[in-house]
Amino acid sequence: MNSIFKISSLLSIILIFSSCNSFAQKENNYSTKIDSLIQNTSPVFNGVILISKNGKKLYSKAKGVSNFETKKPLKFDSQFEIMSNSKLITAVLILLEVEKGKVELNAPIKKYLPELTQTWADSVTVHQLLNHTHGIIDLQKPLVFKSRTQFKYGDLSYTLLTKIIENTTKKSYTEIAETLFKKLKMTNTFCYSKDKIQNLVTGYFNSKGTFEKVQKTQITPQNLGADGVVSTVTDLAIWNNNLHKGKILKPETYQSMLRYTITAQHNFFGKENEGYGYGIRITEKEAVKYVGHTGLGDGFSSVNLYFPESDISLIVLENQMNEDSELFYASEFKIKNILLKSDLFIKK
C-alpha cells in the first residue's frame, strides 16, 4: 500500500512539472515563432528586435550585418537612424515648452515663426503642425486644404516644429534633445551629425535581395525634428518606459498627446482609419490597443510600439528598406502579429 502511495505521489509530481513546462513553453510561444520568422522570412530580416515588459527584457535578437561589404555583424547596441520615430520626440519637446508656458498649442505659428510671410501663418496652429492637419506643402505656396479639415503626413510640419523649439529655447534642437536623452540615461541616442556617427550602422536599399548602400542622407540640421534621431532598441525601450509612465510629461499633457482629432490609414497599423495624435498613432481597432509610430528612409526601417494595458514595448530596427513599397515593414508586421496572438495578451 505504501509503495502504491509513493508511486502515485511520484506521478503527481511528474505531471505537475510536465504541466509547468508545457505552460512555460506556451507562454514563450512568440519567442520560437519570431526566431523562426527572422531566420526564414522573405524579404530577409536584417536588424535588431527588443520586446520588454515593465521595463524588463522579454526577448531580444540581433540578426544580420551592420555593413554588407565588411559583413560586420549587428550587435544589440548597434545604432540606427530611427527616421520618423523622431517625430514623437519632437512632439514631447514641444509639449515640454507648453508646460513651461512658452508655447500655446492653439496659437498661430506666426507667433513663434515671425519670418513666415504667407498669410496662412496667421491661422495654422502648433496643434495642426503636430497632427499633420495644417495643409502646408511648401513655405512659398498657399495651403492645399483648409487647415484642420484633412490629414496629410509629411516632414515639413516637424521641420517647422524644430525651428519653434529653437526659437523658444534660444538653443539648438540638438542641445535640447540631447539634454533630455542624457536625463533619461539614453546613452546611445543622439541627433545625427556627419561628425558624430559613433556605432551608427550603414543603411541600404533592398532591391530584390540586392543591397545598395545609401550614399547621401536626407537628414539636414533643419529637419532633425522630423527624421534626425539616432538610437538603439534599448534606449527606445527606456524612452517608452519613461514617456508612457508619466516620467517626462504631466498626466494631462501626456493625454493631450494621445487625444486625437483626426484619423488616417497606414498599412502597418491596419486597413481602418486610426487616430493620429502628436507624433504618434493610436490603434484601437485591432485585437489589442496600442500606440506607436514607424520610420523609413536613408535605408533604415524602424517600428516602436507600446501596449499600455500590458506595459509591453515592441521595438524593431532594420538597416534596410525595401524598394517595393508593398514590402515596407514586412518583417515588422509579421512580428507584431505574432506578438498580438501570443499568450502575453491572452487574459488568463
**What is the model's pLDDT at position 287?**
87
For 57-116, the pLDDT digits (tens) are 999 999 999 999 999 999 999 999 999 999 999 999 999 999 999 999 999 999 999 999
Distance CA 161, CA 218 (A): 18
What are the cell numbers at 146? 483648409
Please provide the DSSP assignment of 133-168 as one string: -S--S-TTS--SS-TTS-----SHHHHHHHHHHHHH
Whether 330 has a pLDDT exceeding 80, the answer reads yes
Distance, C-alpha 324 to centroid of its chain: 21
The DSSP symbol for 199 reads T
pLDDT, average across residues 258-264:
97
- Domain ranges across the chain: 32-340
Looking up cell 533619461 gives: 184
The DSSP symbol for 79 reads B
**What is the model's pLDDT at position 98?**
98
**What is the model's pLDDT at position 5?**
43
pLDDT, average across residues 244-252:
98
For 265-286, the pLDDT digits (tens) are 999 999 999 999 999 999 999 9
Contact 265, 271 (CB under 8 A): yes
> Helix H segments across 28-110?
29-40, 86-99
- Maximum distance among all alpha carbons in the chain? 97
Give the CATH number of domain 32-340; options: 3.40.1160.10, 3.40.710.10, 3.40.50.720, 3.40.50.1010. Answer: 3.40.710.10
Task: List all residues 6 or more positions away from 207 whose beta carbon is below 8 Å from its beta carbon.
Answer: 323
**What is the model's pLDDT at position 67?**
95
For 15-58, the pLDDT digits (tens) are 444 444 443 444 458 999 999 999 999 999 999 999 999 889 99
In this prediction, residue 239 has a pLDDT band, given cuts at 50, 70 and 90, of very high
In this prediction, residue 198 has a pLDDT band, given cuts at 50, 70 and 90, of confident
For 154-194, the pLDDT digits (tens) are 999 999 999 999 999 999 999 999 999 999 999 999 999 98
Distance CA 184, CA 74 (A): 25
**What is the model's pLDDT at position 347?**
58
Looking up cell 551608427 gives: 200
**What is the model's pLDDT at position 1?**
47
Contact 316, 296 (CB under 8 A): no
Contact 50, 233 (CB under 8 A): yes
What are the cell numbers at 25? 513553453
Q: How far apart are the first and last CA of the chain?
A: 39
The share of the chain scoring above pLDDT 90, in percent, equals 87
**What is the model's pLDDT at position 29?**
86
